[in-house]
A = this chain, B = another copy of it.
Amino acid sequence: MKAIVSIIMGSTSDLPVMEEAAKILNDFMIPFEINALSAHRTPDEVEKFAKSAYSKGIRVIIAGAGMAAHLPGVIAAQTHVPVIGVPIKVSLEGMDSILSILQMPPGIPVATVGVNAARNAGILAVQILAAGDETLNRKILGFKGTLKNKIIQANKELANIKYPYKTN
């Protein structure tokens, strides 16, 4: 089994956030790897990883980072595999990581998701991989159904709230 998606984080302190991406990939039975790499502390390893990612079989990279979050952009600069960036909230409500990941210069896009939204990063990775993969397509459509079911469930809970002037 060879990894198709690579999840990268700067340190294990990012794991509670980033593990949500791993769970989604696992649920969709997509082989993935998880590694710690730092744009600032291990630039050579980042370079090696980014340059070999495509030939190793990686088709989507998910990179999470906080503060002046350079990791997603620095990886994106050295590979043409699509990079999904997850801004992690460490300081300033996460606004520093949002802007450091999102506002990439012309030529080097990073597909940014919301603050701490590693789960959404995982789903986006599945959507990217689903093109031309009928099994994944069916699974992702099923997944959307479960989202809807949560709303149906929520409505049942709301039905239990009683007020004299509540009509439903």
Which residues of A are in contact with B by a Cβ distance under 8 Å? Answer: 1-3, 9-12, 15, 19, 22-23, 25-26, 29-45, 47, 54, 59, 66-68, 70, 73-74, 76-78, 80-82, 84, 89, 91-96, 98-117, 119-121, 123-124, 127-132, 137, 140-141, 143-144, 147-148, 150-151, 154-155, 157-158, 161, 163-168
Contact = CB atoms under 8 A, between A and B. Distances in A.
A43 B148 CA distance: 9
A40 B74 contact: yes
Instruction: Please name the 3 residue pairs, one residue from A and one from B, whose CB atoms are nearest each other, closest first.
Output: A111-B111, A36-B154, A109-B120
Given A29-B165, A100-B99, A165-B29, A120 B94 contact: no
A102 B105 contact: no
Given A130-B80, A148-B42, A154-B11, A96 B103 contact: yes
A109 to B, nearest CB: 4
Contact of A74 (B10, B70, B81, B166): B70
